[in-house]
Amino acid sequence: MKEFLRTKRKSSGELKNQVVYFIIFIALLIVFGIIRNACNSSREDLIEALLWENGLRTENVALKTEILTITRERFMVLFAQEKLGFRRPKEDEVYVLK
Cα distances from 26 to residues 15, 52, 78, in angstroms, run: 17, 39, 71
Evaluate if residue 66 carries a pLDDT over 60. Answer: yes
Q: What is the pLDDT of residues 75-93, one digit of tens each?
A: 777 777 777 777 766 766 6
Evaluate if residue 20 carries a pLDDT over 70. Answer: yes
Evaluate if residue 2 carries a pLDDT over 60. Answer: no
- What's this model's pTM, rounded to 2 decimal places? 0.47
| Extents of the domains making up the chain | 13-72
What's residue 72's pLDDT? 74
| Phi (first) and psi of residue 95, to 5 degrees | -115, 130
